[in-house]
């Protein structure tokens, strides 16, 4: 087993977390999600599969919260009054399917899976259904998502505040922007190797590509599409805060920079997801008719939408050369995407995944047994119709939560739900595996916990909504 430099640093940081207040543990787990391509160590017995830094630090986060508050708030996170009950049922079913379905249905169908070698090589190929290391790794990730949701919920119910969620997410967004800028600078200066220490996972790295003359930003991630999928969640969260007039100057600037980074990532998935997120946020900007009467910024949204065609016409008139560059960019990013080799491969993945769903009579091939290019087909091919329904109940109940706490908590809850929605949009378009990442479950756990006042006595008074006129 090879331990990476960041793995050693994570072990040291984990030890510090166990001795520090729970608040530090929460900030550490949130910020660790930024290192999506950093391996703590590799496991040769699983074909060289990487244990990521966030997964390692998650263990310390859970242990620290358990030491501080015990098991009661964790069980509350997956009780019948929480959306977590559906996530618990989904995870239990997923683990059961991973252990038994590939063996019971062995050879019934063929699936697309990642084949790993002990030398670290990875290929995606069509193979007869059988039990593999992918069933083990995806089971571990599924359990990690459940624990992340439950212990985030526990932290916010036992002393954590909405301010912690907002502050941690804003720091995370700024850090993401800093690494995105460094990614471009190191690429242009020929020093991209300086980022090698945070790109150590057993993934295919596509960090040096360009499109229409633009460097595709990948930040701390193995490719631009992964960076874009992560960034759109942060954009939705900060833009929602701005709509609710929370720290307007800070959230507005950060949301604008995140939007720029999304566009420069040149990810087709990001652009399509962004359209759905903008519709969601525009609907959110309408004056609320509920009892709380929270009003967004409908005038600002309308002005921004109306200014787009005007700006486009001005560019055509005064900078025809730039317009040609934009046309080339759009052609490579959107118009010719469906005819690309990558698109044809992903369509084949989806066709195979749907056939797996049919061949297994709707039960699925087992968690980790199939790969697709849409999260809906990932669910159907892995955990079948039952798993897809349980996931829909979990996400639906999370998005329909209404906070009955203070104004600050309501704004933070709405921002967390916007982030969950953005992550779901990205996954539905191009998600390839069951794991949605720890950030998704941190936001889902936050939305579930912040809907009401904390249960701990003496947890402190809630903060008030900060506005900037």
> pLDDT of 155-179, one tens digit each?
999 988 999 999 999 999 999 999 9
Of 438, 420, 390, the residue nearest 97 (C-alpha): 390
Report the percentage of the chain scoring pLDDT > 70. 77
CB 77 within 8 A of CB 147: no
Q: Any bridge partners for residue 50, and if so which?
A: 42
For range 255-263, the mean pLDDT:
89
Q: How many CA atoms lie within 13 A of 235 on its CB side?
A: 28
Average pLDDT over residues 25-29: 96
* Residues sharing a CB contact under 8 Å with residue 343, sequence separation 6 or more, in sequence order: 337
User: In this structure, are strands 110-116 and 49-52 parallel, antiparallel, or unpaired?
Assistant: unpaired
Task: Look up residue 291 and give its two tokens.
Answer: 């009892």
Residue 46 pLDDT class (50, 70, 90 cuts): low
> Could you give phi then psi for residue 256, rounded to 5 degrees?
-65, -40
Closest among 469, 453, 444, 464 to 145, alpha carbons compared: 444
**Which pair of tokens denotes residue 163?**
């301010």
Q: Is 110 helix (H, G, I), strand (E, B) or coil?
A: strand
Higher pLDDT among residues 361 and 281, named by residue: 361
Tokens 């759905």 locate to 276
Model confidence, pTM: 0.87
Which of residues 328 and 433 earns the better pLDDT score?
433
Q: Give the C-alpha distances (Å, rounded to integers) separating 373 from 141, 336, 400, 420.
A: 18, 18, 27, 19
Element at 156 (helix H, strand E):
helix 133-157
Alpha carbon distances (Å) from 222 to 34, 44, 227, 400:
12, 21, 8, 33
pLDDT for the residue numbered 184:
86
Mean pLDDT of 33-44: 83
Nearest-CA neighbor of 432 among 352, 359, 361, 350? Answer: 350
Cα gap 91→149, rounded to integer Å: 12
């Amino acid at each position: 087993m090879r331990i990476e430099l960041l793995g050693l640093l994570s072990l040291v940081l984990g030890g510090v977390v166990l001795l520090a207040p729970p608040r530090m543990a929460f900030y550490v787990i949130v910020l660790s999600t930024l290192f999506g391509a950093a391996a703590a160590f590799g496991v040769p017995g699983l074909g060289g599969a990487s244990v990521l830094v966030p997964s390692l630090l998650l263990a310390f986060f859970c242990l620290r919260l358990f030491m501080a508050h015990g098991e009661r708030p964790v069980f509350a996170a997956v009780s019948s009054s929480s959306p977590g009950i559906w996530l618990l049922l989904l995870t239990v079913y997923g683990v059961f399917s991973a252990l038994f379905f590939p063996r019971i249905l062995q050879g019934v169908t063929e699936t697309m899976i990642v084949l790993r070698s002990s030398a670290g090589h990875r290929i995606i190929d069509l193979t007869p259904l059988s039990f593999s290391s992918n069933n083990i790794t995806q089971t571990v990730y599924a359990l990690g998502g459940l624990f992340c949701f439950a212990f985030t919920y526990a932290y916010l119910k036992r002393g954590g505040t909405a301010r912690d969620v907002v502050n941690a997410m804003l720091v995370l967004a700024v850090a993401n922007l800093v690494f995105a800028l460094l990614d471009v600078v190191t690429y242009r200066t020929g020093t991209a190797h300086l980022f090698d220490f945070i790109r150590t996972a057993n993934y295919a790295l596509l960090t040096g590509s360009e499109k229409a003359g633009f460097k595709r930003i990948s930040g701390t991630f193995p490719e631009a599409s992964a960076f874009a999928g992560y960034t759109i969640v942060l954009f939705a969260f900060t833009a929602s805060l701005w709509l609710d007039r929370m720290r307007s100057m800070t959230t507005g600037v950060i949301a604008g920079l995140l939007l720029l980074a999304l566009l420069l990532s040149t990810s087709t998935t990001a652009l399509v997801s962004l359209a759905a997120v903008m519709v969601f946020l525009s609907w959110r900007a309408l004056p609320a008719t509920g009892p709380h009467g929270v009003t967004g910024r409908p005038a600002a949204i309308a002005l921004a939408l109306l200014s787009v065609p005007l700006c486009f016409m001005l560019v055509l008139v005064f900078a025809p050369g730039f317009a040609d560059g934009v046309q080339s960019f759009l052609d490579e990013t959107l118009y010719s995407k469906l005819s690309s080799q990558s698109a044809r491969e992903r369509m084949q993945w989806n066709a195979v995944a749907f056939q797996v769903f049919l061949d297994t009579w709707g039960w699925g091939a087992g968690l980790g047994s199939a790969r697709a290019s849409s999260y809906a087909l990932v669910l159907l091919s892995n955990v079948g119709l039952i798993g897809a329904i349980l996931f829909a109940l979990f996400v639906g109940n999370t998005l329909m939560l209404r906070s009955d706490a203070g104004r600050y908590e309501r704004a933070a809850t709405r921002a967390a739900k916007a982030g969950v929605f953005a992550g779901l949009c990205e996954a539905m378009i191009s998600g390839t595996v069951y794991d949605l990442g720890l950030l998704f479950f941190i936001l889902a756990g936050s939305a579930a916990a912040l809907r009401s006042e904390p249960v701990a006595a003496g947890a402190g008074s809630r903060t008030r909504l900060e506005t900037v006129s």
